[in-house]
Amino acid sequence: MIAITLLISSCQSPTKDNNMKNDSADIPGRKWWKEAVVYQIYPRSFKDAKGDGVGDLKGIISKLDYIKSLGVSVIWLNPIFSSPNADNGYDISDYRGIMKDFGTMEDFDAMLKGMHERGLKLVLDLVANHSSDEHEWFRQSRSSGTNPYRDYYHWWPAEKGKPPFRPGSFEVDGSGWRFDAATNAYYLHYFSFRQPDLNWENPKLRKEIFDMMNFWFDKGVDGFRMDVIPFIAKDTTFPVITQKDIDEKYNGGWDQYLASGPHLHDYLKEMNKEALSKHDVMSVAEGAGVTAATAHNFVDEDRNELNMLYHFEGVSLGYLPGKFKEMDPKGYSLVEFKKIYSKWDSVFEEKGWGTIYLGNHDQPRMVTRWGNDAPEWRALSSKMLTTFLLTMRATPYYFGGDELGMNNIKFDKIDDYRDIESINMYKQIKNKGGDLNEFLNAQKISARDNSRTPFQWDSSANAGFTTGTPWLKVNPNYKTVNVAAQETDANSCLNYFRKMVKLRKENLILVYGKYALLDRENPNVYAYTRELNGKKLLVILNFTNNPASANTGIDVSKAKVLIDNYADAPVNGQLKPYEAVVYEL
Ligand code: GLC
């Protein structure tokens, strides 16, 4: 049985000695969104109040006290707008309407009110690179070459021949152009053909988007997470790009030539001026294709664009090159992992502000991918990863369910998947005569549906998520891994998460303190210090299922243990498997 020591007498209630009280006046650039812990909810899978197997806003309302009890301060909801759900809401047919499956605008207003009453802020998902093909703008646009909405999308007349290749991520044939007979032209879609790309070159379209953002801000929404936002700007001359160009000029990354077009930062500045700057809100870009070299252009304060972005370097680690999201059987290298997160810390050392995450709706479950989901290690390694996320200098984005240590479901059959990405990639590999078993095995680790399975509330049927048939299967381990069971266990992942959130909230050193990596080449242990105004913390994380130690050069014999995921702190520097410990030096 694992017990947790929590010797946080100095952290439990902010006292005179407490960092927060003492240091806050001396910290420049404080912002609520830097100090936030963002909790991401996948509405489709969170809680179904009406019994049709799909989560909904009333379900979220019924769980607001639970969310509040976590201590988090911001909720990010995946898209809740009207949508035919080709890509689970990332295909919006009305930006000002609520998806029927999820409820009504009255439900939304009640949900937002309930959040604000509890001091929780709400961040919505802005999906503005593309709409649904069922959006009225697209219906109009495709109806004739002279329709006023024609230029809301990208069209390539067939008289000019076939358009230069662009990839369509979710398409079986891999093409990002689709022929539309009505006007004898192709339209562009970087994702599925049900998600036509919007034309940001058109000032009318931009105004529609900014007005729509203000509509939600006027309702009281506290910010937006911006879906694939670097993709909104393209080279709309659509030059021919060969594989050689991609390899040589674009560093092998398809998103680097598809995205970040010439006017991207003009558009973001305009968005800031017309919408973001008018409200006290936060903005975070899904930074597809953004590198350490380009990140500042998005988030530096004097740029007047966005507040934060999240990069893909961390979550891309460990996959085999040339394969579709297939893990290297050797796993990932902790030394590389440390290098990436240390680099991204240093990127924002002087300017800008970072984010940190290990899971979301596009990633597998954190504990399966980065920890160890074998029954004996699941809880311990999950707590260790939670410790990492909440002790770094960056705003943590924590995916709902990770606080329970929920892990991948690992489907055996393609029929169990609901995600367009898995289903169409399977068809693509099948058409090419590829190895479907290899693909299905790889998906057990990397498929997006692994993180989208219903939230596990209790041990009743369907984990208490729904009284109907869940839209995606429930992980069979819900009988033991669920909120009800963890509420009553002081040592549960859930209660550990609450303690870590509290520790971060009450110690601004964990938010703003300088980060320094120790014992860089240690392949098993991640160790670092955080330092602020003369105070120093040491974080030590064993990423393996064996005892390990780190050469930190720091004497901890007199240090205070602030939190440990075992009952006893390490003796003689010997960490137990997946041990996580935070010392105050
Ligand atoms: C983003 C979303 C993902 C979606 C894609 C297309 O990456 O996070 O879920 O499928 O954009 O909108």
473-490 residue pLDDT tens:
999 999 999 999 999 999
**419 C-alpha to ligand 1 centroid (Å):** 11
Please state the rounded mean pLDDT for residues 159-180: 95
Catalytic, out of 286, 305, 373, 402: 286
- Tell me how far the alpha carbon of residue 286 lies from the centroid of ligand 1, in angstroms: 9
Q: State the pLDDT confidence band at 1, using cuts at 50, 70 and 90.
A: very low
136 is catalytic: no
What is the per-residue pLDDT across 38-88, written as a single tens digit (0 to 9) for each? 999 999 999 999 999 999 999 999 999 999 999 999 999 999 999 999 999
Please report the pLDDT score of residue 251 as a whole number: 67
Q: Report, as an integer, the average pLDDT of 113-121.
A: 98
Tell me the percentage of the chain whose pLDDT exceeds 70.
95
Asked whether the beta carbons of 123 and 221 are under 8 A apart, the reply is yes
Atom of ligand 1 nearest to the CA of 448: 9
Token pair belonging to 437: 């078993």
Q: Which residue has the tokens 């769980």?
A: 63
The CA-atom distances, in angstroms, between 525 and each of 548, 549, 552, 579 are 7, 7, 10, 10
pLDDT value, residue 258: 84
Catalytic residue among 222, 227, 255, 584: 227
Contact residues for 452 (Cβ-Cβ < 8 A; gap 6+): 42, 44, 45, 88, 361, 418, 419, 472
Task: Identify the pLDDT of residue 17.
Answer: 39
pLDDT band at 12 (very low <50, low <70, confident <90, very high): very low
Q: Is the CB of 397 under 6 A from ligand 1?
A: no
Write down the pLDDT at residue 252.
Answer: 61
Quick check: CB of 87 below 6 Å from ligand 1?
A: yes
Q: Does the CB atom of residue 312 touch ligand 1 within 6 A?
A: no
Site of tokens 């579709």: 324
Mean pLDDT of all residues in the chain? 94
Please tell me the distance from the alpha carbon of residue 33 to that of residue 395, in angstroms, as a whole number. Answer: 7
**For residue 260, what pLDDT is reported?**
84
Instruction: Check if 191 has its Cβ closer than 6 Å to any atom of ligand 1.
Output: yes
Atom of ligand 1 minimally distant from the CA of 421: 10
pLDDT of 533 higher than 90: yes
Model pTM? Answer: 0.95
pLDDT tens digits, 16-31: 334 444 456 689 999 9
Q: Which residue among 81, 92, 135, 228 is best mutated to probe the pocket of ligand 1, counting the most ligand atoms within 8 A of its Cβ?
A: 228
pLDDT tens digits along 178-195: 999 999 999 999 999 999
Q: Which pLDDT band, with edges at 50, 70 and 90, does 224 fall under?
A: very high
Three-state DSSP at 502 gives helix
> How high is the pLDDT of residue 241?
86
Q: 127 CB under 6 A from ligand 1?
A: yes
218 included as an active-site residue: no
413-436 pLDDT tens trace: 999 999 999 999 999 999 999 999
pLDDT single digits (tens) 277-294: 999 999 999 999 899 999
pLDDT of residue 172: 95
